[in-house]
Amino acid sequence: MPNCRLFDGLSYELEALLRRTATPRSYRAGQVLMFEEDEADQFLLLTDGRVRVWRTSTGGTAMTVHMMGPGTMPGCVAGLRQIPYPATVTALTDIRALSWPSDRMRQLVAAHPALAGNFLQMIAERNEEMLQRLHEVSTLPVAQRVARALLRLAADGASGGQGVQVALSRQDLAELTATTLHSVSRLVSRWQRAGIVAAGRKRVRILDPERLVAEGGTVD
């Protein structure tokens, strides 16, 4: 299991209880894990794979708002607040996860301050990342935004014989960085010719992270 904030600093007994009461789940690439506006009936911890979190605009257009990987808990805020899921979560790759019923997890959170603190830390870290992305959209040119997004996603991407692979489409990357598909396609094509990345269908492999860092600057 990947390092996960959920288990940080918990007693042996509480961590063992969480692991013992979790239900293993698996999803195929393309399968929906949770639907926008559905009841938040489970807490889900990703242990392997990557998901796309997206919302539907008032005009009916799908918009990617986040990518999440191992150790994260999509939809956990909805579970804690007892509100419907605010977004749809779709598997970009095959997924393995652990699941707990929402009512049971809320009982554990109420009874164990350390567990509540871990959820608060996870939510704070997510908010900090979202604020960083908003700052980048407001202040950085497109090339830097796209490079930084790829570098963040590569942090838990799949390493192979050559580089680190990030599972996402160019459209997803455009939506994440508040730019157009045309702009992202031009950038990725330029970086591919330069040997910085190798692009495929719904994936980008980072071949030269140092040069990509130079394109994006320091990633916080």
In tens, the pLDDT along 59-85 reads 777 788 889 999 999 999 999 999 999
What pLDDT score was predicted for residue 62? Answer: 79
Query: Which of 49-58, 158-167, 188-197 is the least confident region?
Result: 158-167
For 28, 82, 203, the CA distances from 91, given in Å and listed in that order, are 7, 23, 13
Label each residue of the chain as H, E or C: CCCCHHHCCCCHHHHHHHHHHCEEEEECCCCEEECCCCCCCEEEEEEECCEEEEEECCCCCEEEEEEECCCCCCCHHHHHHCCCCCCEEEECCCEEEEEEEHHHHHHHHHHCHHHHHHHHHHHHHHHHHHHHHHHHHHHCCHHHHHHHHHHHHHCCCEECCCCEEECCCHHHHHHHCCCCHHHHHHHHHHHHHCCCEEEECCEEEECCHHHHHHHHCCCC
CA distance 164 to 156: 9
Domain ranges in the chain with CATH number 2.60.120.10: 5-135
Computed over every residue of the chain, the mean pLDDT equals: 90
Domain ranges in the chain with CATH number 1.10.10.10: 140-216
pTM of the predicted protein model: 0.84
Residue 112 pLDDT exceeds 90: yes
Beta bridge partners of 45: 98
What pLDDT score was predicted for residue 1? Answer: 55
Tallying the residues shown for the chain, one arrives at 220
Query: Which of 139-143, 165-169, 180-184 is the least confident region?
Result: 165-169
Going by pLDDT thresholds of 50, 70 and 90, the confidence category of residue 220 is very low
| Cβ atoms of 130 and 75 closer than 8 Å | no
Domain 140-216: CATH architecture, name and number where available? Orthogonal Bundle (1.10)
Query: Which of 47-56, 59-68, 124-133, 197-206 is the least confident region?
Result: 59-68
Residues of the chain with pLDDT > 70, as a percent, come to 95
Which residue type sits at 219? V
Pick the CATH number of 5-135 from 1.20.1250.20, 3.40.1280.10, 3.30.70.20, 2.60.120.10: 2.60.120.10
What distance, in Å, lies between the first and last C-alpha atoms of the chain?
25
